[in-house]
Amino acid sequence: MNIPQFKGAIFDIDGTLLDSLPVWNEADRIFLAEHGVDYDPMIAEKMKSLHFVTAAQFFIDEYHINMLLEDVMRRISEIVGERYMNSVPAKRAVPSLLRQLRERGVKMCAATSNKHDLAEGALKRLGLWEYLDFLITCDEIGCGKENPDIYLYCAKRLGLSPSEIMVFEDALHGAECAKNAGFAVTGVFDEGAGEDFHKIAGFADHTVNFNGEEAVFH
């Protein structure tokens, strides 16, 4: 495996470590259907750049759903929670990559727009939790990945400078933000990325596809 050299790694979760984005699209469809709203596939595009709280508020504002923000978040969490705890898979090359990075002594963490309990539950079930030093969410930081605070928090906690850390992201806004903040970036291919992956490849230090048996970096 042709893994680049770096001292620390920050991994996105959904679409990067986990093949979980279809679950969120399905949850959006089910939630909106419960409120008489037809699902528009373009909703998935809008959701890519939003963390969980902002996405829930988007549904309330855009579709005039008469629910409290907390109740929207709770319902969506209910829909996806069972799958995270029982069936969402890791991308195939991820366990081997994390194992090799740990053997190299690379410090690793995860930074996600997802809810902490969902992400932690899936990572523990899949045996990936043991490789990570910690998990941090956008909710805990107080802003989404269009802001570099979550990456800078991770760097400080890992005890490394941004230039010593590789950020693994499948989302364009997160990859751009990390790159602009001085981190090395590996763009991760995901089936739902569309043109975003090609845009990321234009500025990323590396790209990788975790869907095969082995992660091959370019």
pLDDT for the residue 11:
98
| Helix/strand/coil for 42 | helix
With a cut of 50, list the residues of the chain below it in pLDDT: none
CA 122 to chain centre: 13
Q: What is the model's pLDDT at position 49?
A: 65
**Helix/strand/coil for 201:** helix
What does the DSSP assignment read for 104-150? HT-EEEEEESS-HHHHHHHHHHTT-GGG-SEEEEHHHHTS-TTSTHH
User: What pLDDT does 13 receive?
Assistant: 95
Task: Give pLDDT tens digits for 152-194.
Answer: 999 999 999 999 999 999 999 999 999 999 999 999 998 876 6
What are the beta bridge partners of residue 218?
none
pLDDT at 48: 65
Q: What is the Rg, in whole angstroms, of the alpha carbon atoms belonging to the chain?
A: 17
Block residue for tokens 């802003």: 143
